Amino acid sequence: MADKGNILITGAGSGIGRASALRMARGMHVIAADLNVDSAAETVSMIEADGGSARAIKVDVSDKASVTSMKERIEKDVGSIDKAFFAAGIYIRGMVCDIPEDNWDRMMNIHVKGTFLCCQAVLPDMVAANKGVIVNMSSDFAVMAVPAAAAYMAAKSAIYSLTKSIALEFAPHNIRINALGPGPIDTPILQSGRSPQEYEDARLMLADKLPVGRLGQPEEVAAVLDFLLSDRSAYMTGQIVHPNGGQLMW
């Protein structure tokens, strides 16, 4: 379990973000941020039902004013952010010649710009405290190729490079920044844009390809996040860690 303090988690309303919020609430106060604040509030209710402490806040990570407003409200309500997990994301499938420009821009704005803006918002206070840990959300797709995923893969690759750059810049301030690169995880993103039958077919196809023979669960990614946020990973920074069922072995 990570140390005590305040943790900001974006994309906390579902999937890996929600599972991570539930896990980290065992020892930290969670700020559950999401564009869908009702979903974030559901996560908070789950945390509180389990005896944890949390609050929900709405944020559009692709909008600087929204991110700034979130940061100011957090400062007013709970003080500084000690650790952060930036997991907000979407997945829009499409072959290269068929991707509308606005879909491309949306993917880049939410994933890349959103990660940048959120890091930019929390880093000054971490520098002042001379400590902090950030984990960004990348993907196996940052280092592999599959059809109909060019925008998502480009965005996740950018997050990997951004993570390394920020990690190098802020290492002298005792701040660590790593990234998670999950493989196939059974989350709402896997379901997005698919009919129920297409979703089931995708689950079976992916499970059959993985060496472990199954999809991962959000809670398994959250367990790796817990490690990356804790002092057990104190010698790790600028890395992408892949909880992926062995996907990158082929």
Active site residues per annotation? 152
Q: Which two tokens stand for residue 59?
A: 């944020």
Strand order in the sheet with 29-34: 54-58, 29-34, 6-10, 83-86, 132-137, 175-180, 240-241
Residue whose entry in the numeric block shows the structure tokens 């559901």: 42
Q: Within its chain, how far is the Cα of 199 from the centroid? A: 22
